[in-house]
Chain A
Amino acid sequence: MGLDFSIIPDHLDVILLGCLWTIGITVAAAILSFFGGIIFAVMALYAPWFVRLPFRVVEWVFMGTPLLLQLFLIYFGLVQIGIDLPAFVAGVIGLGLHFAVYNSELIQTAILAVDKGQMEAARTVGLSRGQALRKVVIPQAVRAVIPPIGNNMIALLKDSALVSVIGVSELTLSAQRVIGSTYRPLEFYLLAAAFYYVINLCMEWVQRKIERHIALSR
């Protein structure tokens, strides 16, 4: 049997709902990974050793192991010690922390690259080190790494398909379910791919908007 896209409209509602879940989990995880990345970066650079050391372990786990395994750990593993998270929440935490670690690496480098004179000028008007970091150094560091963070966020969107394995009815799992009843894998996987691409384009558009917005203030 050849390609027949006429079957799509009957199942579009399921796929669109899947799209919404994908957008929801991506946006939530992106926000977590952005702010988590800033917090991780500050901890990695400035926290005392007894905070930094356990954090290094967390960082190693999230950078050095498969995201799929991390999702299993958070969703299935934590139940064993009494932490029973809804699949959506587990997915957001897994994706969010995973990419927070990557964002943190970017932000750390950017913080160290901010001109020393900025911290000096901030301290000279009487700001404490923490205030200077918060108001002067970190905003500049984050502006500098908006483009690579944007790339991470697009990777995050694509990796959000992995949360289908813990049962979040996002785009990939929705496509699979429709295929289960229609036996038309080519049409529905292509459709899902098209939707990922559209979401991707939207994210790039938002990123360009942000970059243009901060262009002057750099």
Chain B
Amino acid sequence: MTAKTDFVQIRHAQKSFGKLEVLKDISLTVERGQIVAIIGPSGSGKSTLLRAINDLDPLSGGEVWLDGVQVNKTLPHRQYEKHINEMRQQIGMVFQHFNLFPHMTALENVSMAPQMLKGLSDEAAAKLAEEQLDHVGMLEKVDAYPSQLSGGQKQRVAIARALAMSPKLMLFDEATSALDPELVDEVNAVMKKLAQEHMTMIIVTHEMDFAASVCDRVLFMDKGVVVEEGPPEVLFKNPTQQRTRDFLRKHLEGAK
């Protein structure tokens, strides 16, 4: 077992809602520092797969491993809760609709978890939060409430909130899909910055250009399976599967 290739492993992931099978035996490996994009039509299971990684949507079968530890291991309820809370501290997640805490300032949004879970003092947590907000270019908005921020600003605070726990892995679930077009770039810029810092990232996205420019690998999912995967220049320019070609063509037409 080499740490390099085993950083994130999804083994035979399977998930059903009743009779509907939304993930069909998916296996996937992500190396440390790699950036992987998952693309595909809505209903393809890409968000479900992403949300299975930190067990927000538990799998029906299969395993998820992070850095040599199984995330979704079988444990008695109480022990599992403790285990999953520890695992989630290592896995940052960014949502389509930001999910910032509206009753807290930007600073409190970021400082709350480290303060509660890592036992930081008020000052240390505030300092950490300021650093993280500075990192995403939001230092001047530390005292603003989410209702006073634009969508792009909210998402940058949400990224800072996730980074404040020093995660080993970041998950992005359509982080720019709910944003006005002119606000997308500021969030993409932050994600690019993380990429340059070699953060391991799994990104569910509709933005092919962004995926092509940032990601090491792209997975195309459809109907619960990974249809095709490869480096962006190969998958986008010379896809081997008909379904991938159809999806990319439709997407290009839609973008025009």
Out of B56, B85, B104, name the residue touching A126 (CB < 8 Å): B85
Q: Size class of A's contact patch?
A: 20 to 34
* Least Cβ–Cβ distance between A119 and chain B, in angstroms: 9
Set of chain B residues within 8 Å of A120, measured between Cβ atoms: 56, 95, 99
B148 touches A216 (CB 8 A): yes
* Least Cβ–Cβ distance between A155 and chain B, in angstroms: 26
- The residue in chain A whose Cβ has the minimal distance to the Cβ of B81 is A128
Main secondary structure of the interface of A (DSSP, over half): helix
Set of chain A residues within 8 Å of B85, measured between Cβ atoms: 123, 126-128
Set of chain A residues within 8 Å of B117, measured between Cβ atoms: 125-127
A124 within 8 A of B: yes
CA distance A124 to B54 in the complex (A): 7
Interface string of A68-82 (1 = CB under 8 A from B): 000000000000000
Which of B91, B93, B102, B112 counts the most A-chain CB atoms under 10 A from its CB?
B102
Out of B89, B116, B158, name the residue touching A135 (CB < 8 Å): B116
A117 touches B99 (CB 8 A): yes
CA distance A135 to B165 in the complex (A): 17
B147 within 8 A of A: yes
A208 within 8 A of B: no
CA distance A124 to B162 in the complex (A): 8
B102 touches A123 (CB 8 A): no
A216 touches B147 (CB 8 A): yes
A218 within 8 A of B: yes
**Known contacts A135-B116, A216-B148, A218-B147: does B88 contact A124 (CB below 8 Å)?**
yes
CA distance A123 to B51 in the complex (A): 12
CA distance A129 to B93 in the complex (A): 17
CA distance A131 to B101 in the complex (A): 14
A17 within 8 A of B: no
- The residue in chain B whose Cβ has the minimal distance to the Cβ of A214 is B103
A121 within 8 A of B: yes
User: Interface-forming stretch among A23-31, A35-43, A84-92, A136-144?
Assistant: A136-144
**Known contacts A117-B95, A128-B81: does B89 contact A136 (CB below 8 Å)?**
no
B207 within 8 A of A: no
- The residue in chain A whose Cβ has the minimal distance to the Cβ of B88 is A126
* Least Cβ–Cβ distance between B164 and chain A, in angstroms: 8
B236 within 8 A of A: no
**Known contacts A124-B54, A128-B81, A129-B81: does B103 contact A140 (CB below 8 Å)?**
yes
B113 within 8 A of A: yes
Out of A117, A131, A136, name the residue touching B97 (CB < 8 Å): A117
Set of chain B residues within 8 Å of A131, measured between Cβ atoms: 116
- The residue in chain B whose Cβ has the minimal distance to the Cβ of A215 is B147
Set of chain A residues within 8 Å of B113, measured between Cβ atoms: 125-127
- The residue in chain A whose Cβ has the minimal distance to the Cβ of B57 is A120
- From 67 to 85 in chain B, residues with beta carbon under 8 angstroms from any chain A beta carbon are 81, 85
B101 touches A136 (CB 8 A): yes
**Known contacts A120-B95, A140-B102: does B161 contact A125 (CB below 8 Å)?**
yes
A126 touches B95 (CB 8 A): no
**Known contacts A120-B56, A218-B147: does B89 contact A126 (CB below 8 Å)?**
yes
| Pairs across A and B, CB under 8 Å, 23 listed | A115-B99, A121-B95, A121-B101, A123-B88, A124-B56, A124-B91, A124-B162, A125-B89, A125-B164, A126-B88, A126-B89, A126-B165, A127-B85, A127-B113, A127-B117, A129-B81, A131-B116, A135-B112, A135-B116, A140-B103, A214-B103, A217-B102, A217-B147
- Residues of chain B having any CB pair with chain A under 8 Å: 54, 56, 81, 85-86, 88-89, 91-93, 95, 97, 99-104, 112-113, 116-117, 145, 147-148, 158, 161-162, 164-165
Q: Which 4 A-B pairs have the closest CB atoms?
A: A126-B89, A121-B99, A125-B113, A117-B99
